[in-house]
Chain A
């Protein structure tokens, strides 16, 4: 099982808010698919799948904030 992590977004940016999930728990995804939109400062950052698989579990729901480096979801 692999993790989808909030990437480093810039110096001094410590957290981001999940604005929108494009995939649901249990959904099959393909490498390159848009998975989740993160909002920080005045930027929306799209996180794409880096592998094929299935969303096993979403840990950070829409509207919730999480620290950079946190796990957003698990893929298997």
Chain B
């Protein structure tokens, strides 16, 4: 599905393999660098562990064999941050945007991504926030969304991952983002499964309001 909204092209890639999505992102980054419209991608990934550039090996708590036995791939990626998990039920958002048009400020952009999630969760009556010195979005002491971006010629890629209906047991394989934290999800907090399409619509609306 692809819809052009104002100056931004929104695409829903559905459930897509991590590496396939990564290749598509790289292609879109080139296009946006060349002057095409920014993109906003929403999708989910089959279970995969991705290791950002600051990953410490000890943050993989299971052996490589045990992880593989679960059918989970482990992939090194060029984004900030430590290890994280993607799995069905987690909403992944890749904003591919020229930050040169937005003040060339990585910190501001990361904070804007956090705010998008915080305001989205408020629509579900979930009071979330950021924690000083820790990236991501938190509900109390539990983490609900992770943030990590890459930037090439000031065009962003990678983005954010919000646990909607994610199987949280999968996080036991890792120390998420290198932290001793409990992960939570919208499903856990609301006590019921949430329609992913509704969450996608709401996060797209938040992006249009704040970013595009």
Contact = CB atoms under 8 A, between A and B. Distances in A.
B107 A44 contact: no
Nearest to B53: A19
Interface residues of B, number: 22
Contacts of B106: 9-10, 13, 40-41, 43, 45
Interface residues of A, number: 20
B149 A10 contact: no
Interface of B: 52-54, 78-81, 104-110, 135, 147-153
A10 B153 CA distance: 15
Interface residue SS majority, chain B? mixed
10 contacts: A10-B106, A10-B109, A11-B108, A39-B53, A39-B54, A42-B52, A43-B79, A43-B151, A46-B152, A46-B153
Interface of A: 8-13, 17, 19-20, 34, 37, 39-46, 48
The prevalent SS among residues of A at the interface is strand
Contacts of B78: 37, 44, 46
Contact of B150 (A11, A12, A43): A43
Nearest to A8: B104
A15 to B, nearest CB: 13
Nearest to B103: A10
B53 to A, nearest CB: 4
